[in-house]
Amino acid sequence: MTVTSVLLSQTALRHNIEVIRSISGNRKIMFPVKSNAYGHGLKEIVEMSRNLVDFYMVATLDEALYLKSLGVNKPVFIDMPLVTREEIEEAVRNGFRLNLATSFQCNIIEKLPESLRKKMLLHVEIDTGMNRTGFKPYDIENLNQFLLRSKDISVEGVFTHFATGKEDREAVSKQYKLFRNVLKKIKFPYKFIHAENSAVLLTENFKEMDFIRTGITLYGLRPSPLYDIELLRVLSLKSRIVDVKKIKRGEGVSYGFTYIARKDTTIATVPVGYGDGYPRHLSGRGYVLIRGKRVKIIGTICMNHFMVDVSDIKGIGVGEEVVMIGKQGKEEITADELAALVGTINYEIVTRISPLLPRVIVKEEV
Ligand SMILES: Cc1ncc(COP(=O)(O)O)c(C=O)c1O
């Protein structure tokens, strides 16, 4: 048994999917599992959700191929526009849904053999203000012409992506209005429209959209502290103490001796470091849970280890459980808390957890 592992709760994921689906008015869910399922573990999250969602969304062709190798039988949408002929061809041959977002891609598609073009399933992205990917409203006439003369190509969806949520509802509404206007100008046939990420679902809930594309909330995290929704954290990150030692007042701990003991101190070594995706910025300011108590990280976090001050815990020994993210007793450390400590967002905290750490699916909450 590896000492450090990521626990994934089936109960939590199921609960979150039910909550979000009911908020959306039972609309279809396209589940974003890009970037290793937001760091949770793509293989496991897919195994846990296969019968609970309608569509999967990944960022890259490689992720889509990996899903296929896992035997996923739900449609898979590749959200990043593929821009080489080889990638587009491979994606089409495998039945993945492509994001058509640029005229550059149209030029590639135009030259593909008819047999491949017939198999294509496109989701056309409209850039309504995010200014990342997608056709701008002034591109629509050209897009109409391209798709109307390419009758062999099917457009399955038309979608947009929002840049803001609760913090700027006016901007959301502006993007949405623009999306509706663009839809009126579209002359090619399509089946579905989709737009909302978690923040916009929780802010506006555009029920006339066919799909929702909510990621972070399904993992039990909030898009930002502005949202007060009760969800269940899917992931916890745990390890065990591998060494305990007593150090004398005046001794330093870890690289650069950024920590010097002010008194005789008992310290414990935890085999987790920035190599596992645990932020080095938590050096000297983060906490973990041991025996249900908050214990301070001391000194610099190394690639594979960090040390904690356990002077207040009597009889502590090797093998005791350490919680980096999750609950122990009555205490809990959340990805939100770690994000606030290091000046980032909960998305980044979980997404950076190393894919190499073992994932363990459990039924109960974690
Ligand atoms: C195009 C697109 N749709 C949906 C999502 C899901 O967003 P969230 O996890 O905030 O719900 C993302 C996330 O980055 C995205 O890029």
State if residue 32 touches ligand 1 by the CB under 6 angstroms criterion.
Answer: yes
pLDDT at 63 over 80: yes
- On whether the CB atoms of residues 271 and 2 are closer than 8 A, the answer is no
Beta carbon of 134 within 6 Å of any ligand 1 atom: no
Ligand 1 touching residue 39 (CB < 6 A): no
- Residues with catalytic roles: 34, 255
Residue among 346, 357, 341, 242 at smallest CA distance from 296 = 341
Distance of CA 162 to the CA centre of its chain: 16
CA–centroid distance, 153 to ligand 1, in Å, is 26
- Asked if 128 contacts 160 with a C-beta cutoff of 8 angstroms, the reply is yes
Give the torsion sign (CA, 225, 227, 230, 231). negative
- The reply to whether ligand 1 has any atom less than 6 angstroms from the CB of 215 is yes
Q: What is the CATH number of domain 10-212?
A: 3.20.20.10
Among 57, 126, 162, 197, say which to mutate for ligand 1: greatest number of ligand atoms within 8 Å of CB: 197
b/e sequence 201-238, b meaning 16+ C-beta within 10 Å: bbbbebeebbbbbbbbbbbbbbbbeebeeebbbbbbbb
pLDDT one-digit tens code per residue, 207-239: 999 999 999 999 999 999 999 999 999 999 999
Mean pLDDT value across residues 327-354: 98
Q: Is the CB of 198 under 6 A from ligand 1?
A: yes
Q: What is the pLDDT of residues 258-314, one digit of tens each?
A: 999 999 999 999 999 999 999 999 999 999 999 999 999 999 999 999 999 999 999
Residue 240 φ then ψ, to 5°: -140, 150
Closest-CA residue, ligand 1 atom 9, reads 215
Quick: pLDDT tens for 164-201.
Answer: 999 999 999 999 999 999 999 999 999 999 999 999 99
Q: How far apart are CA 182 and CA 164, in angstroms?
A: 19
Query: In testing the pocket of ligand 1, which one of 213, 347, 348, 351 has its CB within 8 Å of the most ligand atoms?
Result: 213
CATH of the domain spanning 235-333, picked from 2.40.37.10, 3.40.50.970, 2.60.40.10, 3.60.21.10: 2.40.37.10
What is the chain's mean pLDDT, rounded? Answer: 97
Domain boundaries, the chain: 10-212, 235-333
- State the distance from the centre of ligand 1 to the C-alpha of 356, rounded, in angstroms: 24
Residue 181 parent element (H or E): helix 169-185
Checking if the pLDDT of 1 tops 90, the result is no
Distance 350 CA to ligand 1 centre (A): 15
Is residue 220 in contact with ligand 1, taking CB distance under 6 Å?
Answer: no
For the chain, the first-to-last Cα distance in angstroms comes to: 18
